[in-house]
Structure 1
Amino acid sequence: MSGKLLSNQALCSKQALRILILALLVSTTSTYASARTSDATAGIKDTTLRLLTARVNDQPFDSATRMLQTASDKLLVPAAALKRWGLTLPDGVAPTKHNGQIYYPLDAFGNLDWSIDESTQTLVIQAGVDRFADTHVDLDADDYTAPRNSTTGGFINYDLLFEGREAGTNNTSGTFEFGGFNSWGVATTTLLARNRHRNDGVVRLNTTLRHDEPGSMRTLTLGDTFSHAGSWGRTVQYAGIQWGTNFDTRPDFTTYPRPAVSGEATVPSTVEVFANDRRRGGSQVGAGPFSVRDIPVTTGANQVQVVTTDVLGRERVLTRSFYASQSLLQSGLHDYTYEAGAIRENYSRKSNDYGRGFASATHRLGLSQTLTSGFRLEALEDQQTAGISSAWLPDPRLGVITAAVAGSHSSHAGNGSLMQIGF
């Protein structure tokens, strides 16, 4: 009996010990959670709500903003307001959250001074240009509007010629074009009719089906067309298929690189851009760094000037030299043509006289704003040719240097090579 009692007492002691340990753990966890909560809210204890307007580098912002001022006179500003004022958020500074809104202390910003004008309830900030986000001014920012799909239709063009001579020999000729179109593309055929000595009759000139994609600036051509020569090839007329870029579908698009100029404004300013003494555009910029991109210039040597005028009327002029060339492509821009078919012979004399088959590929790529490179391949039944080409702008004062190297093999003429360099 006494043994069983001792056993029950030992069991109760063990249960009591477990309960005591569990209570200590809960108490410790609660204390730790309380400490963490206290640390998270330490930055916003004893704060005063301030409703202030702002003036940043002499630029007023009239809408009032809810800010928090601590007992140590530190000012916490909402992240949304900082972005609205054009200021970049400080790196490595932990934000403070209050009532679901993110705040940053202004004292954490380097190269920035602030004060509160109590008479007008205005926060006055003077910040260095490195504290502001970049402002980008794009002088070619018009949105592209795709053409509407065409309805189904057709057309006829003609050109007639009559020649009368004293000897009584008259010549009559005319060219006729018949075409039809719908939302997919355009189909055309051209004819030549003649009434001349030994040359009477009608000859078919070209028959073509063409599909344009202005959005991607590409064109598919089926039928009679001209090959793309590239920088060192030759153009031939042929019937077949051609697929490649066609920048003519976008008259507003410029293929060659255009200048970009960067600068800084300590206060809100007006930026005007001149190219060759002709005004090309302008914009208002806030305080901080700015860049002006896609300045319209003509091919050849250009002088670009950026005139910055601040709110006090002070002017600064930044001048840059720039060289524009059609030989260069914008960085990342592709220009290519892939084609195959049969070469046309006896054009304007016979309607359907086609000779050797061929295939060719031409592709160029803008590797940077100053370097464009590409290749060209040609293949006929008895001749193969391959080559590469480049265009380089080492300095705006020197102009563009072009170079090409190609080699060929023919079963009749053997091997051949070509080297070109231009300036």
Structure 2
Amino acid sequence: MRSWPHITAVAIALCLVTWTSVMDLGAQTRDDEGQSATGPVPGDVGAQYDPNADEALYLLVSINGRDTGLVAEFALPLQSRRMMAQREELQGIGIAAPRDLGQTVFLDQIPGLSFVYDVPSQTLSITARDAALVPVEISAVPQRDLPQAQAGFGVVLNYRVTANLGDDIFDDGFRAETAFASLDLRAFTPLGVFTTTGTVSSRIDDPGDAAFQRHDTSFTIFSPGRMVTVTAGDFTTAGPTWARPVRLGGIQIRRDFSLRDDVVTSPMLSYSGSPAVPSSIDVYVDNVRAYSGAVASGPFNLSNVPMITSAGEAVFVLRDAAGNEQTTVVPFFATQNLLARGMLDFSFEAGRMRLPYGDGRSAYGDGNAVALSLRYGVSNRLTVETRAEALGALRMVGVGFHAVLFNQAEVSLAGGQSVNGQDSGSFGFGALRTEVGGVGVRLSTRRTFGTFQDLASVTWEERAAASDPATVVPSFGAITALDAVTLSIPVFGAGSSLGLSLINSERSDLTNTIVSASYSRQLPWRAASFRINAFHDIAGDGGFGASMGLSMALGGSAHASAGLQRDRYGRVDTVAGLSRSADRRAGSYGYRVNLSGQNTSLGATYQTGFGRADLALRNGDAGGSASATFDGALVLAGGGLFASNRIQDGFAVVDLGIAGVPVSLNNRAVARTGASGRALVPDLRSYRLNRVSIDPLALPLDASLGATAIDVVPARWSGVALDFGGQSEAGALVVLRDASGVFLAPGAEVRLAGSSTAFTLGYDGEVWITGLGAHNHITAQTAGRTCTAAFAYAQVADEQVYIDGVECR
């Protein structure tokens, strides 16, 4: 064992070394003025860490007096004794080093930064200006992990069946004549979804004459993590606003932003600040609070603040604990066609042109078509885009951009060229959207020059060539010019608006220039509104039309309206209506009555738990007619066959094992378990968190559950089976007494023979025991003794069994 003098000498030596280290590093610390005036030391830029000559340090870092809670790796060269670190390490703790300092940075070279290294506590205290700090990024849109989607196997058939009950019911009575069904069949798997749509028509008296017309068939794979959808089969092309969509049969790979609701795809409000002390920040958009949060001292960037209105001013208020406020007013203009900076949108399609199926065929054109669209957000103020199409000898390329000007207007410009053999042409597109003095202005024009062609025009030509000339709608030629001007003017205060528009359409042999005006006003009683509309075709056939009307709410979902109208051919008619809409709740009903001088129609709707029924009666010049419609779905999933309302997106099959129990979706009752103890819950949002739950108070007294709520994330157009582990429980409340009739003491441990579960005795000798049979043996372990008892049990439906007088010996 070393002597105390030796230990004291070593301690003194360590103290001297520590003091020397602090003094040496403190000597490196310079005030802000000296640092900003002194540049990097020549020859030190890009210095590399040498593990043989440099001392590695792992230090707890504080910045401007705030403990970061982070440990970073630094290096202390033995010769220069100058603290250094890797650029990525500094970035991780919030220090921004100039790029010209290389990857390995000496801390004393960073302008606006000083530090103190405390050897005993192994801490590094940094003082830095805002320029030397990495701004804290704050998003007004909550960031969350992408939930894992669930998908099983199953089949869904959405259907809408309409029966014609007679074309002249007043003379011939009700008589079912024809039936028409619209079908949407999908089979879902964990890999993807197969879908096919079509229609069936048939005469009621001759069902063998039924004809099926297929519409679209495809297999679709969704990738929410990549925000990509892949479709093999029939689809509609996607692209810029100035590109005309067409239908193809082939393959499509496209960006699908709808798969994610946590990704901001459009430019939104942002703000940068640097409070000296921790503060709160509130954002008001047109006097409505859009965001509220807290920020630490130092620079920060707040992004993705939603714009509640299309244009206006946003007010950012920073407030510290002492109540001091800093207010900044920022004008904004909400865009509609721009992508956020760095966002990429794309679509690639290849396949054969799908010809219209209105003539009863499912034909495809000749040749393979290819289309590619790209859109990229260069900044929050500029988005560029391009579109290319090819089919046979046809080649078409277009480019365009969308931009925001001075936070006051959104401008779109595009142009392109096409070549098809000896034919060539071009197009130009421009649009402007702005607001001037509260007046909304929209301008757009699209014009073609020469013989411009794209996939849409080729589709029309192939359709005309493949169709029966007697069935082809007469063509007035391709549109060579389409211009639109729209003004939206607030008048007479809030709740009133005046709309003016001019639409000019030019074809090779026809020109229409339609001027229209509309006025609407909200009235102060019964949520009523008044409207008036008029139009005039000044360059076409000279047609003129006008209408005026009054509508009001009658309470609940009832609504009434009345009006006067004149069509373009000069016919004047009065109209009146009374309606009530049905919602998705079982038992909901609706009706509609529409009266006019030309015809009368009546209708009634009733919502059931497995579909919606509708009856319609019409009376006109041709006589009275009637039809009946039922809209619903059949679902084969989760081990059962269910009749349901139409399935739009995701759904869940709940297996509760107990009949007659209400099931809720996001705290709203939507279904009830049937005789099998199962229920189908529609209207789940795909790739979103949905909570399916049941109310324990609605369960029978003898029921037990493994869970009362389950969070589920279904895939697009898919279903999920949920097992709540429900069953009738063989349990009873047993009262235990000793041989003298006194209740056993509370806290005793009771075990049922054949079961590993321990039950705890409560007051008055009561213990709840599950897993009982017809004859049962139990053991009770008290503080001073062990006793046994036997008793019989008989389950009673929907009742809690109470067994008294069990003697434990």
TM-score (norm 2): 0.38
Which of 323, 331, 355 is 1:321 aligned to? 331
Task: Answer yes or no: is the 8 Å Cα contact 2:21–2:119 preserved in 1.
Answer: no
Could you say which residue in structure 2 is the equivalent of 1:165? 167
How far does residue 272 in structure 1 lie from its aligned partner after superposition?
A: 1.1
Q: Deviations over 1:338-387 (max 9, x none)?
A: 00111112314334311133110001111111111121110011311011
Distance across 2 between alignment mates of 1:182 and 1:207: 16
Q: Any idea what SS the aligned residue of 2:299 has?
A: strand
Distance across 1 between alignment mates of 2:119 and 2:324: 42
Task: Answer yes or no: is the 8 Å Cα contact 1:129–1:266 preserved in 2.
Answer: no
Task: Answer yes or no: is the 8 Å Cα contact 1:210–1:220 preserved in 2.
Answer: yes
Distance across 2 between alignment mates of 1:129 and 1:194: 73
Could you say which residue in structure 2 is the equivalent of 1:98? 119
Distance across 2 between alignment mates of 1:389 and 1:85: 49
Q: Deviations over 1:17-61 (max 9, x none)?
A: xxxxxxxxxxxxxxxxxxxx989852447xxxxxxxxxxxxxxxx
Could you say which residue in structure 1 is the equivalent of 2:426? 417
Q: 1:284 to 1:252 in 2, by over 3 A?
A: closer
Q: 1:133 to 1:384 in 2, by over 3 A?
A: closer
Could you say which residue in structure 1 is the equivalent of 2:20? 42
How far does residue 269 in structure 1 lie from its aligned partner after superposition?
A: 1.5
Which of 341, 345, 348 is 1:338 aligned to? 348
Which of 377, 382, 406 is 1:371 aligned to? 382
Asked if 1:175 is matched to 2:182, the reply is yes
Task: Answer yes or no: is the 8 Å Cα contact 2:264–2:304 preserved in 1.
Answer: no
Which of 392, 399, 404 is 2:403 aligned to? 392
How far does residue 315 in structure 1 lie from its aligned partner after superposition?
A: 2.2
Task: Answer yes or no: is the 8 Å Cα contact 2:184–2:196 preserved in 1.
Answer: yes
Task: Answer yes or no: is the 8 Å Cα contact 1:86–1:132 preserved in 2.
Answer: no
The within-5 A match list for 1:104-119 is: 104=125
Asked if 1:219 is matched to 2:221, the reply is no
Which of 305, 312, 319 is 1:309 aligned to? 319
How far does residue 295 in structure 1 lie from its aligned partner after superposition?
A: 0.5
Distance across 2 between alignment mates of 1:97 and 1:380: 72
Could you say which residue in structure 2 is the equivalent of 1:18? none
Distance across 2 between alignment mates of 1:334 and 1:212: 17
Distance across 2 between alignment mates of 1:348 and 1:83: 72
Q: Deviations over 1:48-102 (max 9, x none)?
A: xxxxxxxxxxxxxxxxxxxxxxxxxxxxxx8623366069777445754524714
How far does residue 318 in structure 1 lie from its aligned partner after superposition?
A: 1.2
The within-5 A match list for 1:250-329 is: 250-298=260-308, 300-329=310-339
**Structure with higher RCO (Cα < 8 A, 6+ apart):** 1
Distance across 2 between alignment mates of 1:257 and 1:86: 34
Q: Deviations over 1:170-193 (max 9, x none)?
A: 332111122111111110111211
How far does residue 278 in structure 1 lie from its aligned partner after superposition?
A: 1.8
Could you say which residue in structure 2 is the equivalent of 1:145? 146
Distance across 1 between alignment mates of 2:67 and 2:267: 29
**Structure 1 counterpart of 2:369, one-letter code:** F
Percent identity over the alignment is 24
Task: Answer yes or no: is the 8 Å Cα contact 1:222–1:241 preserved in 2.
Answer: yes
Which of 402, 411, 417 is 1:401 aligned to? 411
Could you say which residue in structure 1 is the equivalent of 2:61? 80
Task: Answer yes or no: is the 8 Å Cα contact 1:203–1:349 preserved in 2.
Answer: no
How far does residue 205 in structure 1 lie from its aligned partner after superposition?
A: 1.0
Q: 1:144 to 1:392 in 2, by over 3 A?
A: same
Q: Deviations over 1:96-148 (max 9, x none)?
A: 452471445x8xx58xxxxxxxxxxxxxxxxx867876343321132143342
How far does residue 223 in structure 1 lie from its aligned partner after superposition?
A: 0.6
Higher helix proportion: 1
Task: Answer yes or no: is the 8 Å Cα contact 1:205–1:348 preserved in 2.
Answer: no
Could you say which residue in structure 2 is the equivalent of 1:382? 393
Which of 210, 218, 228 is 1:208 aligned to? 218
Distance across 1 between alignment mates of 2:348 and 2:213: 29
**Structure 2 counterpart of 1:369, one-letter code:** N
Distance across 1 between alignment mates of 2:155 and 2:428: 48
Q: Any idea what SS the aligned residue of 1:313 has?
A: coil
**Structure 2 counterpart of 1:405, one-letter code:** G
Task: Answer yes or no: is the 8 Å Cα contact 1:139–1:292 preserved in 2.
Answer: yes
Task: Answer yes or no: is the 8 Å Cα contact 2:200–2:212 preserved in 1.
Answer: yes
Q: Any idea what SS the aligned residue of 1:42 has?
A: helix
Could you say which residue in structure 2 is the equivalent of 1:191? 198
Task: Answer yes or no: is the 8 Å Cα contact 1:388–1:405 preserved in 2.
Answer: yes
User: What RMSD in Å do the two structures reach over aligned CA positions?
Assistant: 3.0
Q: Any idea what SS the aligned residue of 1:248 has?
A: helix
Distance across 2 between alignment mates of 1:201 and 1:367: 52
Q: 1:81 to 1:147 in 2, by over 3 A?
A: closer
Distance across 2 between alignment mates of 1:343 and 1:219: 20
Distance across 2 between alignment mates of 1:136 and 1:229: 32
How far does residue 153 in structure 1 lie from its aligned partner after superposition?
A: 1.0
Distance across 2 between alignment mates of 1:267 and 1:353: 70
How far does residue 226 in structure 1 lie from its aligned partner after superposition?
A: 0.8
Q: Deviations over 1:258-292 (max 9, x none)?
A: 12111232322211122222212222223333321
Q: Any idea what SS the aligned residue of 1:362 has?
A: strand
Task: Answer yes or no: is the 8 Å Cα contact 2:278–2:295 preserved in 1.
Answer: yes
How far does residue 324 in structure 1 lie from its aligned partner after superposition?
A: 2.2
Distance across 2 between alignment mates of 1:252 and 1:82: 32
Distance across 2 between alignment mates of 1:287 and 1:94: 18
Distance across 1 between alignment mates of 2:340 and 2:381: 9
Could you say which residue in structure 2 is the equivalent of 1:361? 372
Q: 1:299 to 1:403 in 2, by over 3 A?
A: farther
Distance across 2 between alignment mates of 1:84 and 1:151: 54
**Structure 1 counterpart of 2:378, one-letter code:** L
Distance across 2 between alignment mates of 1:268 and 1:353: 67
Task: Answer yes or no: is the 8 Å Cα contact 1:218–1:243 preserved in 2.
Answer: yes
Q: Any idea what SS the aligned residue of 2:61 has?
A: helix
Distance across 2 between alignment mates of 1:384 and 1:44: 73
**Structure 2 counterpart of 1:360, one-letter code:** A
Distance across 1 between alignment mates of 2:425 and 2:386: 17
Q: Any idea what SS the aligned residue of 2:274 has?
A: strand
Could you say which residue in structure 2 is the equivalent of 1:136? 137
Q: 1:80 to 1:360 in 2, by over 3 A?
A: same
